[in-house]
Structure 1
């Protein structure tokens, strides 16, 4: 059972996500809080596997809470939630150590999939956010140490950029899921990261995925 906590200053949002989780097997809602200060105190008493964290909150916002968590070597997986499709917030959250970044209009199936992926150690981001990044913003992820990708690897990283899971990629390119997983491992090594989202960002910054 994956233990989840929700931190959002809007009660209706918390209630809505809590309702979605209650209908989804494999998850349990540990607690809810309305701001970062309350969440920090709760985490000391009741650690969770995944923290769903609003970006914009009074008193202590999501970015500041994330920063404090990472300063104390917290390994809690953090998924940022926002109604604002602002790429600069996405970049800041990723640089501060977020494991995912989702828009609040996510549906129940996508939320469950996202929480499972993050819990398993993957990272994720809404494809719409990736598509909004400017060249200057992408430049912050440039890496001179990446290696060239072959044609198959490029086709797979493009699907990663579109938000496909390994299972969905396997179906799209007619390969076994295990084979796709091996390809993804090679892609991450070539792009000098252990992080799928940062792999996509590095590929975008290097112009590997086209315009």
Structure 2
């Protein structure tokens, strides 16, 4: 028997999920929690296999509750079920130890199947979530590239984005043109770009 907690601040959602999941003979709902804190408190004295967790809840949200449960009760699986197809929510939940992330438009049969997969140590990421995660990771990679620039390189990259030439940058920053040129070369390498136009577009899009 798979013992489950449903953590969601909306009563109608909790009750609906309990009905859907309760139809399966292998699933037992042991608690309907209004927030992450209630789920954490229950686990102090009771056993549970999976927590079905919403993200935005009062008192203790799903992301923070996931972190606590993963650290204190590592054998408990966590499946996020939410309306938020947002990279930051997805990334933080998975980083904090969630075993899966689904959207609330998932149908009942699929949800039951995914619960059983998570119980059997599989990780579940809905197809829509995968697209958002890939896009977010790509954007995060660009942010890391910008973070790799020194303060001077960042200053020059911003000047390039503003359309300034090496000569204008050298005058503005009291540097020789040769020094500016060296900085620009470093910027090209760190951002994996080949010309000033690409740098300008990159900075406007990702900074």
TM-score by length of 1: 0.63
Task: Give the number of the structure whose alpha-carbon radius of gyration is greater.
Answer: 2
1:87–1:130: 8 Å Cα contact kept in structure 2? no
Match status 1:62 vs 2:62:
yes
Give matches, 1:21-100, under 5 Å.
21-100=21-100
C-alpha root-mean-square deviation of aligned residues, in Å? 1.7
- Cα distance per residue 1:72-119 (max 9 Å; x no partner): 252200001111111221111111110000111221110111000000
2:19 matched residue in structure 1: 19
1:21–1:27: 8 Å Cα contact kept in structure 2? yes
When structure 1 is superposed on structure 2, of 81-90 and 68-77 the one drifting more is 68-77
Give matches, 1:1-211, under 5 Å.
1-132=1-132, 133-134=134-135, 135-137=138-140
* CA distance, structure 1, for counterparts of residue 90 and residue 141 of structure 2: 12
TM-score by length of 2: 0.64
1:138 offset after TM fit, Å? 6.5
* CA distance, structure 2, for counterparts of residue 131 and residue 96 of structure 1: 20
Q: Which runs of 5+ in 2 are unaligned?
A: 144-207
Instruction: Number of aligned residue pairs: give it.
Output: 140
